[in-house]
Amino acid sequence: MNNIVMACVGGALIGVAALMLMAIKGRIMGISGIIGGLLPDTEPDYPWRISFIAGLLCAPLGYLLINNQSPTVEVASNPLLLVLAGLLVGAGTVVGNGCTSGHGVCGTSRFSIRSIVATVLFLGTAIITVLLVKLVTGSS
């Protein structure tokens, strides 16, 4: 299948997963909240959280079965920079009370003003960061 079709199928599956989680568990599909719920001192609802994360980790296997090839992932950045970026994103999910999946996918689809503002801030910050890094490093 071509990339556009795969992107549409993936987007539809994300939407169905978000709808099912809301309908069945009454929960927002935010990855940071799902993972955070696995930490000690949280409510004891591990089975669905572990199942959800296992599904995320097994998704490339589904891609392999459909396309007879592994998905290609290219990371062309400094590993230290990636770790720093990950820590900043983690801190941002705490400050923003959620992540891009919770606010961007679920919150905006419910017309939550807080989520719409958060998503605009997430994306705006990402765009400005990429532009500044490219300007400073001279990369294209």
**Tens of pLDDT, residues 19-64:** 999 899 888 888 888 888 888 776 678 888 899 899 888 888 888 8
- pTM higher than 0.75 for the full model? no
Q: What is d(CA 39, CA 44) in angstroms, rounded to the nearest whole number?
A: 10
43-51 contacts: CB < 8 A, separation 24 or more?
48/21
Mean pLDDT of the chain: 85
| Residues 98 and 31 sit within 8 Å (Cβ to Cβ) | no
Q: What is the 3-state secondary structure (H, E, C) of 18-85?
A: HHHHHHHHCCCCCHHHHHHCCCCCCCCCHHHHHHHHHHHHHHHHHHHHHHCCCCCCCCCCCHHHHHHH
Kindly report the number of other CB atoms within 10 A of residue 99's CB atom.
23
